[in-house]
Amino acid sequence: MQDKISLAGDLGGGKSTVANILIDRLGAEYYSTGAIVRSIAESRGMTVGELNKYMETHPEIDHEIDAGIAALSEDERFLIIDSRMAWHFTKGTFKVYLSCDIETSALRIMHANRKGEHNSTLEETIDCTRSRRESEKKRYTEQYGVDIKDLSNYSLIVDTTVATPEQIADRIAESFALWQQDKSYTRVYLSPERLHFPERELDGDMLSPLASKLEGGAELTDITVCERDGEFYLVDGFESAMAYVFAFSTFIPARLVKAEPDGEYVRMRNSL
């Protein structure tokens, strides 16, 4: 059976743009439930947000969409499946989640100008985006007993807040090749600006050897992060993470762990 990529993520996370790049690069075909949902909303004279609320009490719409996603498990084609739930219903996919902070998500939704998906101001669009996120989480938890926001469900998490679509596609394509060799592969790639760092003193003596490793093309593997309410916090590997910052890297590679932020943190974007 041909390996497939399931692509989930935050609203405005860039799934369709990145999927189109991957299709051209990898020779895959595209399957999108987002287009199906927008079509259903338009046919019923609803916005997408209104349809999401309607679907909370009309699960038959979700069931129809998800039955089609489950059937893709037996499809022989190489597919990139843009869907909130393909990671759950389509067997054996490389499970990718595109993460984006909510303000950037809202700006992208406004600029995309998709019918029924944004309001007239950024603040209203942020509120609508947050409401849609909570509605989807509630719906899938009640219907299927799964939390689509639990990032431990995914093999790869890529932060799309700052990186270009081409850079994001690079990370997915390279990680997909590694996952095909070892199906236990997991990784998080975060923009330095997105990560919350603990307020502690930096050990400057450690930076030079770490910088040399980066210059030699090595990936520093001791960095771990946790996630809470859509925000990422550094748990371990402080000096290694800072080495990526000083190298002006697009991404900090890390492993996701179950933990709670402890102590005082500062988001890198706010300290630049």
pLDDT given at position 118: 53
The pLDDT score that the predictor gives to residue 244 is 96
Q: Is-contact 110 125, C-beta < 8 A?
A: yes
Q: What is the pTM of this model?
A: 0.85
More confident residue, 252 or 142: 252
Which residues contact residue 28 at a Cβ distance below 8 angstroms, ignoring those fewer than 6 apart?
5, 22, 77, 78, 79, 80
Q: How far is CA 93 from the centre of its chain?
A: 15
d(CA 109, CA 158): 19
Average pLDDT of every residue of the chain: 89
Can you tell me the distance from the alpha carbon of 4 to that of 71, in angstroms, rounded to the nearest whole number? 13
Q: Which residues make beta-bridge pairs with 252?
A: 190
Query: Per-residue pLDDT tens for 165-198?
Result: 999 999 999 999 999 999 999 999 999 999 999 9
Percent of the chain with pLDDT over 90: 57
Q: What is the pLDDT of residue 113?
A: 66
Which residue would you say has higher pLDDT here, 90 or 55?
90
Comparing CA positions, the residue from 28, 14, 5, 10 lying closest to residue 164 is 14
Q: What is the pLDDT of residue 256?
A: 97
Q: Are 114 and 26 in contact (CB under 8 A)?
A: no
Nearest to 86 by CA among 129, 33, 15, 138: 33
Of residues 161 and 119, more confidently modeled: 161
Bridge partner residues of 29 (DSSP): 79
Helices 165-181, 15-26: axis angle to 10 degrees equals: 60
Q: The tokens of 209 are what?
A: 């050897």
63-83: buried (b, 16+ CB within 10 Å) or exposed (e) per residue?
A: eebbeebeebeeeeeebbbbb
Grade residue 144 by pLDDT with cuts at 50, 70 and 90: confident
Closest CA to 70 of 55, 85, 59: 85
Give the confidence band of 227 by pLDDT, cuts at 50, 70, 90.
very high
Measured at the CA of 48, the angle between CA 62 and CA 83, to 5 degrees, comes to: 50
